[in-house]
Structure 1
């Protein structure tokens, strides 16, 4: 596409049909984002596409709208698409998004849940299959998913799907997909190594890498609050009472700390939910639903929720530590300031983490504002009571 795409303000000019546009309009989407302007025509043209765009820019619709439109136009009811996601939360969210725009049947196929129930779902011949590589691969091997009529394969959060932990499963699954199927990969962070891995999986790729809008530095305000490790949870409690966020997502790298933080907050009568990999699927869904609907303002989570989770109205991100992978810092922070809004990212850290934060400040071109808690308020360290 040429640069005129930047001025496109109507989905119809991208080739999206009226029926889909009306559905988008019904939940408040009237204009395509820049990544949608660039990606939708390429997907409609059946190109293999790798695209990168910052969090909150509408990547899911960028591939889902054109793929759904093509599926709905198919005469063959056996044809389908497969969308891979690294976490249950992201996969579930993609399924919900698909259900908002199409009557086509979809199935969520994730490990850790009874496979018999998923086999029953497949008897309804869903046209949109969403899940993680291991479970979908298992169902392919059991001959419950026929891959000869897969028309497109999407890797959402592609950098995670080709990371060391699950790259082999992703590779095996791709080997089961017809060579003439369309391949699409996207993420907010695609480095050169990820790009090389993806290009090994499929060829003739059209890359769409948008210039950074610097959402991380322009839309998100970054605060640093010093606390020794032993004082972090009490500092968090004091911060929540002082700042009183409308909706805050609280991250810790240690899954075993999620429940501990949540329980200590709950003990202090601060209503919050906990979410980590070992949380039962039903409890995970209930926690996200309560948080999404505003029934619970605070959600404590591991990095499970740092990728792809699109929940409106998150005003604050609170990081109880800094992740070893810098991309996770970007994904964590990007849960706020979505769809053009602004947000606050807070790191509560000890001396080591403050040094690490200073390095991230320099690398990403951020301005980090030191804060402290004084008489029930969040203030600059040099604050003096007048």
Structure 2
């Protein structure tokens, strides 16, 4: 393999070996901008969309800074969901497995819904790196089993989701047990106002890095709108899934109840369906994630639990059975596909009541194709909002037409100039339409 551009960070040889194994060649923008700051010991706030490489932006420098000879917790990494925490932990192991045998770096994952007694057993020897959900980590600290007062690095991943799910209190309590000179690394897709008091409490002059998306979603996603019209919605979805014949498709609903009902309906139609939502027991969720990663399902019905941070490989299609109430989640949902340079399709079944939401998504920069499924074949349709566009265009020309009708005294040649202006407006609108 050709030399990697990560050489400039001067990582230890075992980390460079891991980078080559992971087939990382060029650092992403957030890695380029954040890794040097973390290596210097600075606190950092990194704001970037999903799929920008932020996990390795903090993992690589954290592992570089671990002293394997010091048998104590040196870094704590928190994530809002069990699946995301487990995923981060596996990424840690992909790097630490290259450690020299005399300088091993140990890591442990602690998440809710797992055997607490086993977790306590594992902590007879403190690991160098702790990854987990804030509730379980805080629980182990209160049991005096986990010693975080020795750790100088704390990661808060998906901080806005931590806030939404009410976990920021646990994170606050964890941080309060750590040294005053704490290097805090906060990563979030957005920085809500309610998060700022927490950041101010623990971070003095942090380096703030905002990687603005070059576009609101990945470049190779095709966004498709499919009108429901007066059809049966489950039947239309089934027909879409069969017509797309995806490598792996995630169908998003807004509630656990809808996810279960929809999955049952699709199973009745003969599809093998995986289900992923917060109502599953920890054991069921863990089993489901394993089955998904083992490609036991071609179709998954999920709530927005799966939209944030969980990296399910090979998702070729995302289908919005319902548009999310918070339109930012449209970005998170479709971010599950077209990852790592692959292409993807994000299809949305829409009804007239969804038109305001679609208009807002277009203002956010989403460009939709309008298609329908006719006898198993995809057919291109005129723009979904053609009537409203026509009304807007007519509205722009109407004042000029009204002026023509005014029976007032005007200068010579006025009517001719006005007709020319109307023609000019019509040409401009035609050009805009072609775009």
TM beyond 0.5: yes
Alignment of 1:1-386 (within 5 A): 10-71=5-66, 73-103=67-97, 104-163=105-164, 165-191=166-192, 193-195=194-196, 197-214=198-215, 216=217, 218-227=219-228, 231-362=232-363, 364-381=364-381
> Could you tell me whether the CA contact under 8 Å between 2:68 and 2:128 is conserved in 1?
no
How many residue pairs match? The answer is: 374
Task: Measure the CA separation in 1 of the matches of 2:157 and 2:189.
Answer: 10
Alpha-carbon contact 1:11-1:32 (below 8 Å) kept: yes
> Following the alignment from structure 1 to structure 2, what is the Cα–Cα distance between the partners of residues 37 and 285?
34
What is the alpha-carbon distance in structure 2 between the residues aligned to residue 96 and residue 38 of structure 1? 24
Structure 2 contact 73–148 (Cα < 8 Å) conserved: no
Q: Distance in 2 between matches of 1:366 and 1:193?
A: 28
SS of 1:258's equivalent in the other structure is: helix
Task: Indicate if the aligned counterparts of 1:56 and 1:337 stay in contact, CA closer than 8 A.
Answer: no
Consecutive unaligned residues in structure 1, runs of 5 or more: 1-7
Distance between the aligned counterparts of 2:293 and 2:76, measured in 1? 26
Q: State which structure, 1 or 2, has the greater radius of gyration over its C-alpha atoms.
A: 2
CA distance in 2, matches of 1:371, 1:377: 10
Give the TM-score taking structure 1 as reference length.
Answer: 0.90
Distance in 2 between residues matched to 1:350 and 1:197, nearest whole Å: 41
Counterparts of 1:111 and 1:125, CA distance in 2: 19
TM-score (norm 2): 0.80
Structure 1 residue 188: deviation in Å?
2.8
RMSD: 2.2
Tell me: CA distance 1:196–1:331, structure 2 relative to 1, closer, same or farther (3 Å).
farther
CA distance in 2 between counterparts of 1:229 and 1:154 reads 49
The 1:31–1:230 alpha-carbon spacing in structure 2 relative to 1, beyond 3 Å, is same
For 1:288 and 1:65, how far apart are their aligned partners in 2?
A: 25
TM-fit CA distance, 1:229: 9.9
Residues 52-95 of structure 1: CA distance to partner in whole angstroms, max 9, x if unpaired? Answer: 22221211111001101111x35312132111111111011001
1:32 CA drift (Å): 1.7
| Structure 2 alignment gaps of length 5 or more | 98-104, 384-435
Contact 1:217–1:367 under 8 Å retained in 2: no
Higher relative contact order (CA 8 A, sep 6+): 1
Deviations 1:130-181 (A, max 9, x none): 1121221111111111121012110110111233723322222222221112
